[in-house]
Structure 1
Amino acid sequence: MIKKDDPVPPGPLMQFSGGAVHTLDSRDLFGVGRHIIVGVVGAFTPICGVTHLPEYVRLFETLMDFGNTDSISSVCVADPFVVSAWGKAMGCDGKIAMYADPVGAFTDQCGLAANYDSIGMGNRSQRYILIFRGGVVERLTVEPDPFQVDETSAARMIASST
């Protein structure tokens, strides 16, 4: 699993915008500056869509001021069309960049893959918060129970920094 001071791992991430799918390299996205990545189990799922991501949308301004953050992104092991539609439904436009990791390449490189066959979701991601600063890991928090939002909540992250 990726850890403090590790470099941004290589991995293609996809984004659907302007009517086209764009493939982006994680190192280009997160290699310079400070970036908060919200790793979610699945788009349009009850916990991710009711609790986890909405809190980051609601606290966006505070989070951007938190440690001079350059961007907040969400990464989801799903196709770029679903991730884009979910971001629009969650009010992420202009706030949180929505990236799809369709085959889990970035997620695997981070060591954050998880299997949810038992609930019909297959290979996905653990629930996590990953902060890159200057191209290296500043902080990684993985939720011990992917069906809860506690350690990876935006409010907890802000409170733990003060």
Structure 2
Amino acid sequence: MIQVGDRLPTVTLRRMGNEGIEAVTTDDFFGGRRVALIGVPGAFTPSCSAQHLPGYVEQADALKAKGVDEVACVAVNDPFVMAEWAKAKGADGKVTLLSDGNGDFAEATGLAFDGSGIGLGTRLKRFAMVVDDGRVSSLRVEDDPAAVEVTAAEKLMADL
């Protein structure tokens, strides 16, 4: 599993742009700036929708006031689902939602878990990290994918 001090692996994520689906590499997205990144098991899932993403939407300005250039959320969902989730949770303009639809980021970072027992396939563990110019400077990972304790926005702010 990726650790504090490690460089994020180079993978391609997707997001919805004005012209449709846009590919963005981790090198380009995280390079030269400070990003608060959360990973969630899935868009529209209970803990992710009720607690995790909303906490970061509410605290986006406070995170930016502490030196974060962008707040982002990644999940193993397609970019269409991520775009609709952003609208539903009021994340547009506050938290950038990134699609890891094929699970490449999940696998490359070692943050994948097997949710196939309940029909989810490969998913991301719930995490929160600060990435400085492509390098992980803070990392929090939940043991229980339903829990939002060590990865809550307030906890990550304490790391800044």
TM-score by length of 1: 0.94
TM-superposed deviation, 1:144: 1.2
TM-superposed deviation, 1:117: 1.6
- Which residue does the alignment assign to 2:13? 13
Q: Are residues 1:40 and 2:40 paired? A: yes
TM-superposed deviation, 1:33: 1.2
> Percent of pairs identical after alignment?
36
**In the aligned structure 2, how far is the partner of 1:128 from the partner of 1:111?**
12
CA RMSD of aligned residues (A): 1.2
- Asked if structure 2 preserves the Cα contact closer than 8 Å seen for 1:130 and 1:140, the reply is yes
- Asked if structure 1 preserves the Cα contact closer than 8 Å seen for 2:138 and 2:159, the reply is no
- Asked if structure 1 preserves the Cα contact closer than 8 Å seen for 2:41 and 2:125, the reply is yes
Task: Give deviations 1:61-90, integer Å, cap 9, x for gaps.
Answer: 111112x11100000101110011101111
TM-superposed deviation, 1:7: 1.2
**In the aligned structure 1, how far is the partner of 2:28 from the partner of 2:96?**
14
Q: After TM superposition, which residue ranges in structure 1, 4 or more long, deviate above 3 angstroms?
A: none
Q: Which runs of 5+ in 2 are unaligned?
A: none
TM-superposed deviation, 1:32: 1.2
**In the aligned structure 2, how far is the partner of 1:10 from the partner of 1:85?**
26
Task: Provide the secondary structure at the position in 2 that maps to 1:138.
Answer: strand
**In the aligned structure 2, how far is the partner of 1:47 from the partner of 1:142?**
15
- Asked if structure 2 preserves the Cα contact closer than 8 Å seen for 1:142 and 1:152, the reply is yes
- Asked if structure 2 preserves the Cα contact closer than 8 Å seen for 1:8 and 1:31, the reply is no
TM-superposed deviation, 1:30: 0.5
Q: Which runs of 5+ in 1 are unaligned?
A: none
TM-superposed deviation, 1:135: 2.1
TM-superposed deviation, 1:93: 0.6
- Which residue does the alignment assign to 1:58? 58
Task: Give deviations 1:68-127, integer Å, cap 9, x for gaps.
Answer: 111000001011100111011111111100100010111211110111122221111000
- Which residue does the alignment assign to 2:89? 90
Task: Provide the secondary structure at the position in 2 that maps to 1:146.
Answer: coil
Aligned residue pairs: how many? 160
- Which residue does the alignment assign to 1:145? 144
- Which residue does the alignment assign to 2:118? 119
TM-score by length of 2: 0.95
